[in-house]
Structure 1
Amino acid sequence: MRIPILLASLYLSLGLSQAESRETGESELRPTAEHMAQLVIGRDRKVPNACAVELFVENQPAAQLPGGESVSLEVPAGTLNLRARLKSAGSCDAAGLASGQSILLKPGETRRYQIMLDNHALFLAPQLH
């Protein structure tokens, strides 16, 4: 009689330990506040106002920026792919220009970029403040 009770206890404890590890693993996939970083991206006033500027983070649309405006995004720390693109809007003659780059953000870090246009090339320029 003792052996079946011991075996049942063993199976129960194994099942509970597996459930605990799954819950922990699932929560590790969701970034918490201490695993986040801040990304501030502005649009230079020299980028034509007739063009819509689209910002993508990890190939997902993150924001559209009007002239002279900026956006602040909370993103997971780590390596991120950023891309900015001029989208056709009205009389925009620079539509289709795009730039992209990868950045590495530390948890709690704030990084600032400015979307700029120079010699018909769109780029993300790092900013000090």
Structure 2
Amino acid sequence: MLRTALSCCLLIAATCSAASEPPPIPLAQDPVPAQSARLLLSRDANAPTACDVEVLLGERQIVTLALDTHTELELPPGEYATQLRLSRAGYCGTLNLGSNQSILINPGERRHLQVIYNDDGLFLAPADG
């Protein structure tokens, strides 16, 4: 009987001390990862040269586009320093055309850009449709 009474007292004391403690501080939650973005790159079939175009983000080559081709990339949102240049293979390497642009892609955005080639150089422009 004494043992049962002692057990009850300990149980009551534990319950009372737990009730008097402040609630735990919630842990900081991990930030929600930014929603990825999609970038569709295409090349006009009517370009004045058949040279492939290399698309670079920073110093890293991302894709080579031939005439009338396209590719779609999944990227984290953000600002990208983009370089366009003609392939350095064969005749195309002697043309020395290129350009630098900056593009901003928002979270969840799907952007379609087209590589445009003219006498002044290469550039990315919003694609129709």
Verify same fold: TM over 0.5.
yes
Q: Greater CA radius of gyration, 1 or 2? A: 2
Cα-to-partner distance string for 1:1-31 (whole Å, 9 max, x where unaligned): xxxxxxxxxxxxxxxxxxx98xx5xxx6xx9
Is contact 1:86-1:94 (8 Å) kept?
A: no
Identity within the alignment, %? 33
> Any stretches of 5+ residues in structure 1 without a counterpart?
1-19
The aligned length equals: 102
Alpha-carbon distance change, 40 to 94 in structure 1, aligned in 2, over 3 angstroms: farther
After the TM superposition, which parts of structure 1 deviate over 4 Å for at least 4 consecutive aligned residues?
Answer: none
Find the aligned partners of 2:126 and 2:92 in 1 and give their Cα distance.
Answer: 25
TM-score (norm 1): 0.67
Q: Post-superposition shift, 1:88?
A: 2.4
Report the counterpart of residue 126 of structure 2 in structure 1: 126
Q: Post-superposition shift, 1:94?
A: 5.9
Q: Within 5 Å, give how 1:1-129 maps onto structure 2.
A: 32=33, 34-45=34-45, 46-49=47-50, 51-92=51-92, 95-129=95-129
Q: Which amino acid aligns with 1:63?
A: V
Q: CA RMSD in A?
A: 2.5
Find the aligned partners of 1:70 and 1:87 in 2 and give their Cα distance.
Answer: 16
Cα-to-partner distance string for 1:17-48 (whole Å, 9 max, x where unaligned): xxx98xx5xxx6xx94x421101111112151
> Any stretches of 5+ residues in structure 2 without a counterpart?
1-26
TM-score (norm 2): 0.67
Structure with the largest fraction of helix = 1
